[in-house]
Amino acid sequence: MAMENQNSGMQIFIVRYGEVALKGLNKPYFERMLVERMRKLLRRFGDVSVRRSDGLVFVYADNRHRSEDIIGEISKVFGVTSISPATEVESDMDAICSAASEYMLERMKRGDVKTFKVEAKRADKSFPVPSPDIARVVGAEVLKRCRELKVDVHDPDCRIYVNLRKGRSYIYEDKFPGFGGLPLGTNGKGLILLSGGIDSPVAAFMMAKRGMRIEAVHFHSYPYTSKRAQEKVEALAGLLAVYCGRFEMHMINLLPIQEQLVERCPEEEMTILLRRFMMKIAERLAARTGCAMLITGENLGQVASQTAEALTVTDEAAKIPVMRPLIALDKVDIIDKARDIGTYETSVLPYEDCCTVFLPKHPATKPKLADILASESRLDASSLIEAALDSAETVIIRPYNRSIEGDHGSSRDTMP
Amino acid sequence: MRVYLDNSATTRPYPEVARLVMEAMEGVYGNPSALHDAGLAAEKAVREARRRLADAAGAEPDSLVFTSGGTESDNMALICGAESGKRRGKRIISSRIEHPAVIESCRALEEKGFEVAFADVDSHGAVVPASVEQLMNEDAILISCMHVNNETGTIQPVGELLRLRDSFERRVGRRLLFHVDAVQSFGKIPLDFGLGFFGKSIDEVKDGNFFSQYCENFNNCRNSPGGADLIAFSAHKIHGPMGSGALYVRRGVNIKPLIYGGGQERGLRSGTENVPAIAGFGLAAKMASERLGSRAAFVAGLRKRLLSGLLSEVGDIKVNGHAEVLRESAAAAGPAGDAAGPPAGAAQMARSAQAARSAQTAQAAQMAQTARSAQMAASPYILNVSFRGIRGEVLLHDLESKGIFVSTGSACSSKKGGGSPVLKAMGLPQADVEGAIRFSLSEFNTAEEIDYAVEAVKASAARLRRLRRFR
């Protein structure tokens, strides 16, 4: 196939993965998961070959695809640290020199290059020329062909890499960064409490990046929250699915619980009590769906329900581990991450979530567990939880769900 | 049951209109500008639609420009009207309750160096003529006012404003253009601009024959020197297709186009005509105007039924806009109200036409005196109500889950003190602004639907008011 005949109709990408390589005995398993995930995401391009060789992954794709699209797809695979489009040649010094020179001539047409440097890596140790010599020889050859260029080993405009392997060598320049992390599916499954805000998608992303499969639960207060708000959360989940693959999301209406809270509990405890209900419902859902832990977007001190005291009381509600990957991040950093993964614009669409609907005027910021438990004892907690679970609606979330177009906000302030 | 009560947003097309649009798409696909027969057929379809619209609007066919809808018509009126008058002055006068198509056009004109002044409205949501008069200074070149407000249904005193404009023109000795946004009135109530129902309340004129007779002479003032210069129309508010509208440009008013190109619509609106939608618009305009009076009366009956139901079954509500008289009488009538009958048949209309005609002279005499109180009158198609202790948006969603579709002026931004600019301009307290729901009716609604809606609102309100502490 492509490897054997140097097919000019193919483009080649070298994909590096970081941490995966460090995993000792599990290494083959992690590598296999990584390649599987890449194959899955690249399947839509049709005939793409993904191969592993000596700590790198080589991707061969037909030239008719845009290389940005292929790189974009590969970069969504957790575990990938960087991607480079590459030129493939025979592992022969003359061939490498001439290919490197050709590459440079092409490169100079594209942009302003005055200085360059060649770096070489000899993966095939049986090759007679050592790495520094390869770099020197190739660099000299490039200089001969491109007379106006100068070598700058410290801060070159263009850095060309030569990767010399058994039989084949690769010449490349740019490295496009990946997200790093670990291949999806190598670290169990967690249930994310997805609100529709900025934080929870980032929290889900961060856990998924460590190899965790995700499933989601969304709490709403219809009709106090709208169907469009639910659609927005589905759109957000669809953006997550781009990285995490297809998953299920359970939609649960909290209004019956909120109604009872309004009737029977002190106003300032509304939010914290509701959050405890969410944890309990989520815990039950997790047990049903094979999730070992919960994931939330909670962040220390961000709102009244996320003070140290409030988090303590919330945490007590669930017995299984609760992951809070954002706990110590600043809001600006969370926003940056949300922009990075592409969920920010959808997150900021203006729909209410269930927590803001019955917002007490003065929420308890330092709730005491004993008080909260006492309030809870006045409620039909277990039947409320059962009813909530029974009413759950499950939606299948698939990648690229962009049903929300973001133009509702502007038209909703005025009447047609 | 599915009850569509959002007819001021858009209406279900008449089946006849839908069929005609389909036929036009399948059979009349030539370009009206093409020289061959296929083009001629399309041109004929547009000409026929223009004639129908002209008949319905009481205008000459060549004073109508087909556009993409009410918004484009308003944009064209404001922007092109202002441009045409920029040598005379810089001031544009409008009101605080106009549709965004007008308000935002005004803002764009402000950026171009024009000066925009917005007149005040009273607590019924009617523009205060004195406020407009005050704003009519030497620099004024264009007045824009809607005929029926889209949120409250309040009929605006356009006739009175036109008279103010006339006396300004006489005094200053130059033209002051007048634009009417008739999107919510055309095909629903007579286009007599502010005379309302001869100053009578809806209850007094709910007899279908009165309306039928009334609309025979409805827009006499249109093409007289005292008439409006520009009028915006929309098709989809009167059971026509979306994406079609028109602008009336009075003969002798010279404006430049907003959109340039192949010179269609006498050069005023280039772009290949939307033939199927225009054909549909023509038919919808014809159908709406033919049965205008009996439909309005039928719908007035439904609105009364709805209001009395809400007053007696739900309670703790406030009617926004016009309906002082209406509210009292409806309260007295009790929950059942008057049983709303079907639109009056053609035979019945014809029988009483003669009797009505003899009454016409006397009514015309009354017109001038009652014009001032006419601003109390309202379009029978709209009922705007604030539910105390409930946020409108929440009620909207609860009703939606029961198959009832209504509208609210406020979005979820209401927590941040948002809400309908129209209701705010009327001086409503914030809680009432946030609790407002607009029910807008059409001839397709039935008394059963209204009763179902009242029951549904009753149940929803009871549930939601239990949480009123948090709203």
Please state which architecture CATH assigns to domain A10-177: 2-Layer Sandwich (3.30)
> Given this model, what pLDDT does residue B362 score?
41
Rounded Cα–Cα distance for residues A71 and A177 (Å): 10
Task: State the nearest Cα–Cα gap between B31 and chain A, in angstroms.
Answer: 31
Q: Is B352 exposed, middle or buried (0-12, 13-18, 19+ CB in 10 A)?
A: middle
Put simply, the answer to whether B470 touches A350 (Cβ < 8 Å) is: no
* Contact status of B10 with chain A (Cβ, < 8 Å): yes
DSSP letter for each residue of B82-141: HHHTTTT--EEEEETT--HHHHHHHHHHHHTT-EEEEE-B-TTS-B-HHHHHHH--TTEE
Q: What pLDDT is stored for residue B469 in this prediction?
A: 59
Q: How confident is the model at residue B8 (pLDDT cuts 50, 70, 90)?
A: very high
* Cβ within 8 Å, pair B150-A351: no
Chain B residue numbers touching A224 (CB-CB < 8 A): 394, 397
* Domain layout of chain B by residue ranges: 3-10+292-465, 15-290
How confident is the model at residue B107, as a pLDDT? 96
CB-based contact, B400 to chain A, within 8 Å: yes
Contact A203, A236 (CB under 8 A): no
Q: How much is the average pLDDT of B19-29?
A: 96
Smallest Cβ–Cβ distance between B467 and the set A262, A351, A415 belongs to: A262
Taking CA–CA distances from A229, the nearest residue in chain B reads B412
Distance from CA of A264 to the nearest CA of B (A): 12
What pLDDT, on a 0 to 100 scale, did the predictor assign at position B192? 65
Looking at the domain that runs over B15-290, which CATH code has it been given? Answer: 3.40.640.10
Q: Do A416 and B10 touch (CB under 8 A)?
A: yes
Nearest beta carbon to residue B412 from set A351, A358, A360: A351
Interface residues of A toward B, Cβ cutoff 8 Å, are: 222-227, 258-259, 262-263, 267, 270, 350-352, 356-360, 409, 412-416
* Inter-chain residue contact B398 with A223, CB threshold 8 Å: yes
- Whether A10-177 and A189-406 share one fold: the answer is no
B-chain CB neighbours of A258 within 8 Å are: 467
Which residues of chain A does B393 touch, with a Cβ-Cβ cutoff of 8 Å? 226
Nearest by Cα to B470 from A251, A219, A279, A354: A354
Nearest Cβ partner of A350 from B10, B397, B412?
B412
Provide the annotated active-site residues of B: 412
Fold of A189-406: Rossmann fold (3.40.50)
Name the 3-class secondary structure at B74: helix
Whether A413 and B413 lie within 8 Å, measured CB to CB: yes
- For B161, the 3-state DSSP assignment is helix
Measured CA to CA in angstroms, residue B457 lies from B146, B315, B393, B411 at distances of: 30, 11, 13, 20
Residues of A whose CB is below 8 A from B411: 350, 409, 412-413
pLDDT digits (tens, 9 = 90+) for B70-94: 999 999 999 999 999 999 999 999 9
In chain B, which residues have their Cβ closer than 8 Å to the Cβ of A358? Answer: 467, 470
The minimum CA-CA distance between B321 and chain A, rounded to whole Å, is 16
User: Shortest Cα distance from B220 to chain A (angstroms)?
Assistant: 29
Asked whether the beta carbons of residue B150 and residue A356 sit closer than 8 angstroms, the reply is: no
The answer to which of A109-113, A132-136, B241-245, B337-341 has the lowest mean pLDDT is: B337-341
Asked if B421 reaches chain A (Cβ–Cβ under 8 Å), the answer is yes
- Asked if B311 and B330 count as a contact pair (C-beta separation under 8 A), the reply is yes
Contact across the interface for B400 and A350, Cβ inside 8 Å: no
CATH homologous superfamily of B3-10+292-465 equals Aspartate Aminotransferase, domain 1 (3.90.1150.10)
How far off is chain B from A413, nearest CA to CA, in Å?
Answer: 5
3-state secondary structure chain A: CCCCCCCCCEEEEEEEECHHHHCHHHHHHHHHHHHHHHHHHHHHHCCCEEEEECCEEEEEEECCCCHHHHHHHHHCCCCEEEEEEEEEEECCHHHHHHHHHHHHHHHHHHCCCCEEEEEEEECCCCCCCCHHHHHHHHHHHHHHHCCCCEECCCCCCEEEEEEECCCEEEEECCCEECCCCCCCCCCCEEEEECCCCCHHHHHHHHHHHCCCEEEEEEEECCCCCCHHHHHHHHHHHHHHHHHHCCEEEEEEECHHHHHHHHHHCCHHHHHHHHHHHHHHHHHHHHHHHCCCEEECCCCCCCCHHHCHHHHHHHHHCCCCCEECCCCCCCHHHHHHHHHHHCCHHHHCCCCCCHHHHCCCCCCCCCCCHHHHHHHHHCCCHHHHHHHHHHCCEEEEECCCCCCCCCCHHHHCCCCC
Closest CA to B297 of B342, B327, B360, B235: B342
Q: How far is A261 from chain B (nearest CA, A)?
A: 10
Same fold, B3-10+292-465 and B15-290: no
List chain B residues with CB under 8 Å of A414. Answer: 99-100, 409, 420-421
Residue of B8, B467, B468, B471 for testing the chain A interface, max A β-carbons within 10 Å = B467
Q: Domains of chain A: which residue ranges?
A: 10-177, 189-406
Say if strands B404-405 and B3-4 run parallel, antiparallel, or are unpaired: parallel
Q: Which of B394, B410, B466 sits opposite A223 (nearest CB)?
A: B394
Helix (H, G, I), strand (E, B) or coil at B235: coil
- Residue B159: predicted pLDDT: 84
CB contact under 8 A, B396 and A223: yes
Q: Return the number of CB contacts < 8 Å for A and B.
A: 66
pLDDT for the residue A178: 92
Closest CA–CA distance from residue A304 to any residue of chain B (Å): 17
Scan residues 90-129 of B and list those with Cβ closer than 8 Å to A: 99-100
- The whole-chain average pLDDT of chain B stands at 82
Chain B residues with CB under 8 Å of A263 CB are 466
Q: Are B406 and B437 in contact (CB under 8 A)?
A: yes
From B394, B415, B467, residue closest to A259, measured CB to CB: B467
ipTM of this complex:
0.71
Model confidence pLDDT, tens digit, residues B363-396: 433 433 333 333 347 888 999 999 999 989 889 9
> Among partner residues B393, B421, B470, which is closest to A262 by beta-carbon distance?
B470
Q: B468 and chain A: CB distance < 8 Å anywhere?
A: no
Q: What is the pLDDT of residue A109?
A: 84
Per-residue pLDDT of chain A (416 residues; tens, 9 = 90+): 334 444 557 899 999 998 766 667 778 888 899 999 999 989 888 889 999 988 899 999 998 889 889 999 999 999 999 999 999 999 999 999 999 998 888 888 887 888 999 999 888 888 888 888 899 999 999 999 888 888 888 889 889 999 998 889 999 987 899 999 999 988 999 999 999 899 999 999 999 999 999 999 999 998 888 888 899 999 999 999 999 999 999 999 999 999 899 889 888 898 899 999 999 999 999 999 999 999 999 999 888 788 999 999 999 999 999 999 999 999 999 999 999 999 998 888 876 655 566 677 788 888 899 999 999 999 999 999 999 999 999 999 998 643 333 333 333 344 55
Residues of A in Cβ contact (< 8 Å) with B394: 223-224
Confidence at residue B315, expressed as pLDDT on a 0 to 100 scale: 85
Q: Does B217 score more than 60 pLDDT? A: no
User: Whose CA is closest to A19, among A31, A32, A37, A9?
Assistant: A31
Q: Is B420 part of the contact surface with chain A (CB cutoff 8 Å)?
A: yes
Cβ(B280)–Cβ(B13) under 8 Å? yes
Residue B64 has a pLDDT of 94
Minimal Cα–Cα distance from A410 to chain B, Å?
Answer: 10
